[in-house]
């Protein structure tokens, strides 16, 4: 199933081309389209790396291998470019995905490759016994009464 964007892709392309050609500024076009300057800047980056078709509605999320994630994170940590430059180098549509991978790497020391292709995820909670769960419920009930 396609994920439909809020702004028509034709409008996105026209706004990006107005800015790239120098006929308009990012803030003026963003205001005209009704989006934030950062959104239009992201569209420009996508347009420059993928062309106008990159602004079409995406059918599904893009998945990245564990190796790609790790190489991108190591490139950034080794100072081989900014987040935006490295994101563009590895075909990421947005640098925030790289930022999430870096956070995961720095907290866990590794990056996992899940089916969703995402970065961090919560670790499982410790196992509790039936008695511990009953005690927690009783404590919660006493607190709620106060």
Average pLDDT, the chain: 83
Residue 7 near residue 30 (C-beta atoms within 8 A): no
**Domain co-membership, 77 together with 29:** no
**Domain co-membership, 116 together with 99:** yes
Give, as one character, the DSSP assignment of residue 116. Answer: T
| 4 within domain boundaries | no
pLDDT at 123: 55
Which domain range does residue 72 map to?
62-146
Helix %, strand %, coil % for the chain, to 5? Answer: 60, 0, 40
Where is pLDDT greater, at 10 or 110?
A: 10
Does the pLDDT of residue 113 top 80, yes or no? no
Query: For the chain, how many structural domains are there in total?
Result: 2
Residue 119 near residue 97 (C-beta atoms within 8 A): yes
Residue 7 near residue 33 (C-beta atoms within 8 A): yes
**Residue 109 three-state SS:** coil
Report the first-to-last Cα separation within the chain, whole angstroms: 49
Please state whether the predicted TM-score (pTM) of the whole model is above 0.85. Answer: no
**Domain co-membership, 21 together with 41:** yes
**Domain co-membership, 42 together with 95:** no
Q: What's the CA gap between 104 and 56, in Å, rounded?
A: 30
**Domain co-membership, 46 together with 110:** no
């Amino acid at each position: 199933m396609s994920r439909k964007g809020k702004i028509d892709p034709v409008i996105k392309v026209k706004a990006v081309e107005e800015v790239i050609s120098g006929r308009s500024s990012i803030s003026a076009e963003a205001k005209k389209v009704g989006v934030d300057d950062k959104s239009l800047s992201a569209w420009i980056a996508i347009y420059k790396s993928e062309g106008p078709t990159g602004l079409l509605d995406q059918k599904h999320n893009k998945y990245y291998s564990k190796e790609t994630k790790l190489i991108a994170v190591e490139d950034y940590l080794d100072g081989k470019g900014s987040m935006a430059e490295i994101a563009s180098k590895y075909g990421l549509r947005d640098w925030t995905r790289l930022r999430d991978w870096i956070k995961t790497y720095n907290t866990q020391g590794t990056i996992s490759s899940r089916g969703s292709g995402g970065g961090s995820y919560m670790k499982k909670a410790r196992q509790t016994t039936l008695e511990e769960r009953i005690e927690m419920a009783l404590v919660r009930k006493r607190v709620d009464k106060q």
